[in-house]
A and B are shown apart, each in its own frame.
Chain A
Amino acid sequence: MGKKIIIDPVTRVEGHGKVTVLLDDNHRVEDAFFHIVEFRGFERFVQGRPYWEAPVLVQRLCGICPVSHHLAAAKAIDQIAGLDPDDLSPTATKLRRLLHFGQVLQSHALHFFYLASPDLLFGLDAEAAKRNVVEVAIANKDLARKGIQIRQFGQEIIKALAGKRIHGIMAVPGGVHKTFTRQERDAFLNGEGVPSIDNIIDWMVGVLDFMKKYHETNAPWLDYFATYPSGHLGMVTQDGALELYDGPLRAIDAQGNQTLLAPATDYVDHFAELVKPWSYLKFPYLRELGEEKGWNRVGPLARINVSTYISTPLAEAERKIFRDYTGGKTNNMTMHTHWARLIEMLHCAEAIRDLLNDEAILGDDLRREGIQRSQGIGVIEAPRGTLIHHYEIDDKGMITRCNLIVSTTHNNEPMNRAVKWVAQNVLDNRFEVTEQMLNQVEIAIRAYDPCLSCATHALGKMPLYVEVQDRRGNIIQTATRS
């Protein structure tokens, strides 16, 4: 008798998801799905609102990465206000970049230290009671303390620029509304009330050393677990460097062959979105390659794969080590996403230091004006990957259409592939599905740091409910985890 295993909801991700694994009569895996089962419809919510409100409204999509939505919307609204990215003043652009680096740093810190570290420190088979940050603090107090302080540093950068750690306002059409004072700047340079930026950089170098040593002794499972070939998508500079704020989009296939290099604002020409009946989350793919071959991972691993160098020296040195491990080939090892995330954190810290030392961030040329247009497209690399905001307006400036493709949507097919990998390699041919086995499904999903709240626009708190059904819908096994 065939049966179905459901993991509902998935824990330690932002939002609410569910996993179903279908087994045939011989307990062999037939298929596996990662469902998104909630929907709030933010794209409809902003219709009819004035376009200049969008950067404020869309922040409510998420309490974890509101700055990314704020800036992606702001870039789109700049265009509606008649300004392309190069038209903004250097002060406005650099202040926005500073805000963005602070955001990526704090979001990555939250994920690595709070959500993923139990997976890394305690391994695949850890007891459920051990898989939380308190146990991490007990096992490695120094790591936990540094994680907290690195996240706080990023949050304080956001607070200084946007007024609040969450849902602050900094960008306005054509620029920013506030500059950085010398006193605010010096606090981050000198470590007044927060660690100094030099301390943050030193700590990140130390955390990367920890990660590399950890990998040396855990390579068998880190290299193997949920590894599968895929395309990779991310933003780069015009000369191919890692870029998080503005630049063309580049995609490569699993072997490293380039499959896309195009202005980010041309996304409509290159991407289509597939709808499947069992999920509210769409499946984006490159039109040129089709839905079977055109899907891509996004996020830290993808960005390191598609870029040819990093502009800051310490992060570049770490990128080379990371790249050398695969002999310069594309890295398709899912768990290496955590390693890539740390390299990006180091890059953010170095970039923050460089911007803090740039007198332009103290300037007063904050906002420029242009001639209004009927649509705007803003693309940014959010912590979790490529984020697209697209707005159209009527002649009164009211939003008539909004399309959002968030990072977790790009990662929809990759997360499904990861779930299938675990199903086929861990659950296949097992008559009893243990809690540790189910945790491995979650570890595979968690590597993508999915924000299901953003992707479907719902919030959730998540106990774990597991149900095993036969094909007629009869429940033959249940398990609950709070």
Chain B
Amino acid sequence: MLKSKTVEEILFKPQPDREKILVIGIGNTARQDDGLGWKFLELVQALGIPLEVRQVFQLQIEDASMITAYDKVLFVDSHVTRIKGGYALEPVFPEEDGSWSTHALSPGSLLHLSGVLYEQIPEAWLLSITGYRWELGMPMTRNAKANLFEAFECVRSLI
């Protein structure tokens, strides 16, 4: 995980008049803790934080075009592994991935595709938040919600 200062300097010291920043929430609120990414966006909007948001089930190839309209992109997704502290904020770099399928385009693959197709790659970060259960139609777990709030407060403190 990066130190907060580095994150602040690179990502969350936005200059709104000159920079466009997009937050992409990945997941599905119908599948319990898989909805963490979308819930993060709800918090951004509810608190009036001046960032553009977009919710997606999965990252798709056409999103390679969409992200080129932004200077910086923050991907927010739930994570199946138990991350120390409940979340992690890390930079994303272009990554060539031959195993692509429509169900699993990673943020790194998306950046790589943006570079190949449009010769533009925004600075990007991935906020991974630990989730615990993934059942259809069930509510989010208490521990996942706690991780969400911790992760959100971390990001908010950097804005």
Interface residues of A (CB under 8 A from B): 11-12, 14, 60, 63-64, 110, 114-115, 128-134, 137-138, 141, 144-145, 148-149, 151-152, 155, 166, 459-463, 482
Q: Are A12 and B65 CB-contacts (below 8 A) given A134-B113, A137-B117, A141-B117?
A: no
New contact pairs (20) apart from A133-B61, A133-B100, A462-B101, CB-CB < 8 Å: A11-B101, A12-B101, A14-B102, A60-B30, A63-B57, A63-B58, A110-B102, A132-B97, A132-B98, A132-B100, A134-B97, A134-B112, A149-B65, A152-B62, A166-B57, A460-B103, A461-B101, A461-B104, A463-B99, A482-B99
In chain B, what residue has the closest Cβ to A148?
B62
A144 contacts B65, CB within 8 Å? no
Are B117 and A148 in touch, CB under 8 angstroms?
yes
* B102 pairs with A64, CB closer than 8 A: yes
Q: How far is the CB of B79 from chain A (nearest CB, A)?
A: 15
CB neighbors of A among B112-147 (8 A) = 112-113, 116-118, 136
Residues of chain A within 8 A of B58, CB atoms compared:
63
- Nearest-Cβ distance from residue B98 to partner chain A, whole angstroms: 5
CB pair A138–B116 under 8 Å, yes or no, is yes
- Interface status of B19 (Cβ within 8 A of chain A): no
A144 contacts across to B, CB distance below 8 A: 117
| Mask of B57-74 contacts with A, CB within 8 angstroms, 1/0 | 110011011000000000
Measured CA separation A115–B100 after assembly (Å): 10
Q: Which residues of A contact B109 (CB under 8 A)?
A: 134
Given contacts A128-B98, A166-B57, A459-B103, contact A133 B113 (CB under 8 A): yes
Chain A residues near B65 (CB-CB < 8 A): 145, 148-149, 152
How far does the alpha carbon of A141 sit from the alpha carbon of B64 in the complex, in Å?
13
Interface presence of B96 (CB below 8 A): yes
Residues of B within 8 A of A148 (CB): 61-62, 64-65, 117
When C-beta atoms are compared, the residue in chain B nearest to A145 turns out to be: B117
**Interface residues, chain B, with chain A CB atoms under 8 Å away:** 30, 57-58, 61-62, 64-65, 96-104, 109, 112-113, 116-118, 136
Query: Which residue from chain B places its CB closest to the CB of A128 in the assembled complex?
Result: B98
Assess the B113–A115 pair: CB atoms within 8 A.
no
For residue A113, which residue of chain B has the nearest CB? Answer: B61
Find chain B residues with CB under 8 A from A12 CB: 101
Which 4 residue pairs spanning A and B have beta carbons closest together? A129-B98, A137-B116, A148-B62, A132-B100
Q: How far apart are B49's CB and chain A's nearest CB, in angstroms?
A: 22
- The residue in A133, A155, A461 that gathers the most chain B C-beta atoms within 10 A of its C-beta is A133
Q: How far is the CB of B132 from chain A (nearest CB, A)?
A: 19
List 27 contacting pairs A-B, 8 Å CB cutoff, sorted by A. Answer: A11-B101, A14-B102, A110-B102, A114-B102, A115-B102, A129-B98, A133-B61, A134-B100, A134-B109, A134-B113, A137-B113, A137-B117, A141-B116, A141-B117, A144-B117, A145-B65, A145-B117, A148-B61, A148-B62, A148-B64, A148-B65, A151-B62, A460-B103, A461-B103, A461-B104, A462-B101, A463-B99
Closest to A115 in B: B102
Are B57 and A134 in contact, with the CB atoms below 8 A? no
Tell me how far the C-beta of A350 lies from the nearest C-beta in chain B, rounded to whole angstroms. Answer: 22
Contact at B62–A155, with CB atoms within 8 Å?
yes
Q: Which residues of B contact A482 (CB under 8 A)?
A: 99
